[in-house]
Amino acid sequence: MKKRMIRSIILFSLTLVALLVFIGLYVDETHRVQETYRLQYRTNLTHVAEDIESYLNNEGDLELRYSRIISDMSAANAFIFLLENNEDKKKTINELHTCLIKYPEQMKGKLAEMETAIGDILADLDQGYAEAAEIVASVDKKGH
């Protein structure tokens, strides 16, 4: 009886240590994955800023440039939803992406403001999200 009790205590201890190691590895991997998502989000926002700049400088086919802005914004939108960030930031980026798709004529006039907002977001300034929210609010959602 004593041998069984000692054996079960040792087995329990080993199982507990293995569980703690597994939890530690899981948390570490989660942080690593979040960092990868954050890097991809920032990379896509950088591409959006570059595409807006080339659009505003009238470089090449403007419709293609606008399509690239939408594409890169779509990727940034997807990655921000994978991050464990503030829900308001996710909502703002999603609404900005939606306005780019639904109201292209209005958004083409607001690209300079959008470039400033994205630059502030990339500089880790919370005012960038506020500026993006102002752009979304300024869009006439009943018109085209």
Q: Give this prediction's pTM.
A: 0.79
pLDDT of residue 84: 74
Query: Does 107 fall in a domain?
Result: yes
Query: Does 6 fall in a domain?
Result: no
Structural domain span for residue 111: 34-138
For 1-144, list the strands marked E by DSSP.
Answer: none
* Average pLDDT rounded to a whole number, residues 82-102: 89
Q: For the purposes of burial, counting CB atoms within 10 Å of the CB of 10, is it exposed (0-12), middle (13-18) or buried (19 or more)?
A: exposed
Query: Does 14 fall in a domain?
Result: no
* Residue 43, SS3 per DSSP: helix
pLDDT of residue 7: 92
Percent of the chain with pLDDT over 90: 62
Query: Does 83 fall in a domain?
Result: yes
pLDDT exceeds cutoff 80 at 66: yes
Query: Does 116 fall in a domain?
Result: yes
* Average pLDDT rounded to a whole number, residues 38-60: 90
Residue 65 belongs to domain with CATH number: 1.20.120
CA angle 104, 108, 112 (to 5 degrees): 145
Whole-angstrom CA distances from 100 to 9, 106, 112, 120 are 62, 9, 13, 19
Q: At what angle do helices 62-82 and 87-102 cross, to 10 degrees?
A: 160
Query: Does 16 fall in a domain?
Result: no
Query: Does 42 fall in a domain?
Result: yes
Query: Does 8 fall in a domain?
Result: no
Number of domains in the chain: 1
